[in-house]
């Protein structure tokens, strides 16, 4: 298990340079568990957002590397820093000004074309089955 401390203070594993001081000194912890699951624990005043939804403070929340994690509505976590961050050598990222995140936007399913193909195959199989049984329909 590896835990990364995230915040403004220099003793964090990932140090956030936030000139507006919205990100807390010890904002959150990100834990990569031995079984490969990843959780984040918000410990801040201004909140942590996963895919636009504010997570509850002091509660482990499951996340994945495809999730967008925004600290205090100002700084997006760069997942590329997670594998290179160490306790002895903190990584620094600058706060970016971005539009506030208010709600999550649903992601479009990636396997839509596969599902459509399967649907068409089932329709064709149904038509062939009706034809073979000799049923007829009058419109």
For CA atoms 41, 44, 50, 55, the dihedral sign is positive
pLDDT in tens, 68-115: 999 999 999 988 887 644 333 445 555 554 444 433 444 445 556 777
Q: Which long-range contacts (CB under 8 A, 24 or more apart) does 58-63 make?
A: 60/31, 62/37, 62/38, 63/30, 63/38, 63/39
Residue 57 pLDDT > 70, yes or no? yes
Confidence of residue 22 (pLDDT cuts 50, 70, 90): very high
Tokens, residue 21: 């001081």
Compare 64 and 125 and report the one with higher pLDDT: 64
**49, 27, 47: which is closest to 93 by C-alpha?**
27
Confidence of residue 60 (pLDDT cuts 50, 70, 90): very high
Q: Where are the alpha helices (DSSP H) in 1-139?
A: 112-133
User: Which residues, listed in sequence order, are joined to residue 17 by a DSSP beta bridge?
Assistant: 94
The predicted model scores a pTM of 0.60
pLDDT of residue 74: 92
- Measure the CA–CA gap between 25 and 93, rounded to whole angstroms: 14
- Measure the CA–CA gap between 77 and 33, rounded to whole angstroms: 19
pLDDT in tens, 24-55: 999 999 999 888 889 999 999 999 999 999 99
pLDDT of residue 125: 82
pLDDT of residue 50: 96
């Amino acid at each position: 298990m590896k835990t990364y401390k995230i915040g403004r203070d220099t003793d964090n594993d990932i140090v956030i340079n936030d000139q507006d001081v919205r990100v807390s000194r010890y904002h959150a912890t990100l834990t990569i568990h031995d079984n490969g699951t990843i959780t984040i624990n918000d410990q801040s005043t201004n909140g942590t957002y996963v895919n636009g939804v504010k997570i509850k403070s002091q509660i482990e929340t499951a996340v994945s590397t495809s999730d967008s994690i925004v600290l205090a509505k100002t700084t997006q976590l760069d997942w590329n820093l997670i594998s290179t961050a160490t306790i002895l050598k903190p990584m620094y990222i600058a706060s970016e000004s971005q539009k506030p995140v208010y709600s999550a936007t649903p992601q479009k399913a990636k396997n839509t074309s596969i599902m459509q193909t399967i649907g068409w195959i089932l329709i064709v199989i149904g038509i062939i089955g009706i034809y073979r049984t000799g049923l007829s329909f009058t419109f």
